[in-house]
Amino acid sequence: MPEPLDSKEEQIQVIEANADRIIAVAKKGYIDFKEKGTVVILRQLENNTTVLEDWQIVFKPIVLLPNVVSDWKESGLQDLIIKYNPETSVICTFLYPDGAHTSYHFSAD
């Protein structure tokens, strides 16, 4: 799998800077789809700042994940989604144009 364009530290900074929006998208997605999933954070090839635009934060339920992340089962994302409680926590996945991705689980508190 290709390497993400952002370091782990940079990804965590993005999560911290956008936590409220990520949590809101996750909660709305879970209510709308009635299914667990992940908030996909779409990253660009350049200008990757901590400020995200609305189009960069999208909820994908577990049934639609194969359309977005081809190796989501092998990468452990499936297990992560199955184990978390969407009432109290969020999973977000950074997705890059080259197919690289990294997922994080964090508390909604």
Q: pLDDT tens digits, residue range 3-44? A: 788 899 999 999 999 999 999 999 999 999 999 999 999 998
Q: What percentage of residues in the chain have a pLDDT greater than 90?
A: 83
- In angstroms, the CA 41 to CA 80 distance is 16
In this structure, what is the dihedral angle of CA atoms 80, 25, 1, 47, given to the nearest 10 degrees? -150
Q: Which of 52, 56, 53 is nearest to 39 (CA)?
A: 56
Which residue type occupies 39?
A: V
Q: How confident is the model at residue 91 (pLDDT cuts 50, 70, 90)?
A: very high
Q: What integer pLDDT is reported at residue 80 of this predicted model?
A: 93
Q: Which of 68, 59, 67 is nearest to 35 (CA)?
A: 59
Sign of CA dihedral 43, 37, 11, 7: negative
